[in-house]
């Protein structure tokens, strides 16, 4: 009489464990995201939007947004009297290669931010701060990295008292 109860309890426990593992392995990815799957600490795959299965206990999955994002940027320039100033700008970064971006989003964002800041500094050396570049001129100051494109670059502030 004791064995059947033990057997039934074991079967129910095993079935619940399998059900929980199956539920935990299903991942739904929305249109503006990618699923980065890592195995043993390395990127194993980047999954597109849709429903995907991952292997529980072996794979780790992280949903990464590939939606456009606004970033604050900083560039050094020289004021009318030749004194160094700090210029603050804002740009919108658009992901052009979602799979490459999702593999290492922090490195991609850092590279894009640095590229835009360097281009902005170069652009500001050709335009004096007394005649701040307009949005059309700034559009030529937005480089494209392999997986991110910057648009809508706008100068938001100029710190005339800054000494780098």
Using one digit for the tens of pLDDT, what is the confidence trace for 29-41?
A: 999 999 999 998 8
Specify the pLDDT at position 8: 83
Specify the pLDDT at position 133: 59
Q: Where in the chain is the domain with CATH 3.30.479?
A: 69-159
Listed as ranges, residues in the chain with pLDDT below 50 are 1, 164
Angle at 51 between CA 47 and CA 56, to 5 degrees: 75
Classify residue 50 as left (phi > 0), alpha (psi -120 to 50) or beta.
Answer: left
- Name the pairing type of β-strands 26-29 and 50-53: antiparallel
3-class state of residue 156 by DSSP: strand
Report the alpha-carbon distance of residue 77 to residue 121 in Å, rounded: 6
Specify the pLDDT at position 30: 94
Topology classification of domain 69-159: Tetrahydropterin Synthase; Chain A (3.30.479)
């Amino acid at each position: 009489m004791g064995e059947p109860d033990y057997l039934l309890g074991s079967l129910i426990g095993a079935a619940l464990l399998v059900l929980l593992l199956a539920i935990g392995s299903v991942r739904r990815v929305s249109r503006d995201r990618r699923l980065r799957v890592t195995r043993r600490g390395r990127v194993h795959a980047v999954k597109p939007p849709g429903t995907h299965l991952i292997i529980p206990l072996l794979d780790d999955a992280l949903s990464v947004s590939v939606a456009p994002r606004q970033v604050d940027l900083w560039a050094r320039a020289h004021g009318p009297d030749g004194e160094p100033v700090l210029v603050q700008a804002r740009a919108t970064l658009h992901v052009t290669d979602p799979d490459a971006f999702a593999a290492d989003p922090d490195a991609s964002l850092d590279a894009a931010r640095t590229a835009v800041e360097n281009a902005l500094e170069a652009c500001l050396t050709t335009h004096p701060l007394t005649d701040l570049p307009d949005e059309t001129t700034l559009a030529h100051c937005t480089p494209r990295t392999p997986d991110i494109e910057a648009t809508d670059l706008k100068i938001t502030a100029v710190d005339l008292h800054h000494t780098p």
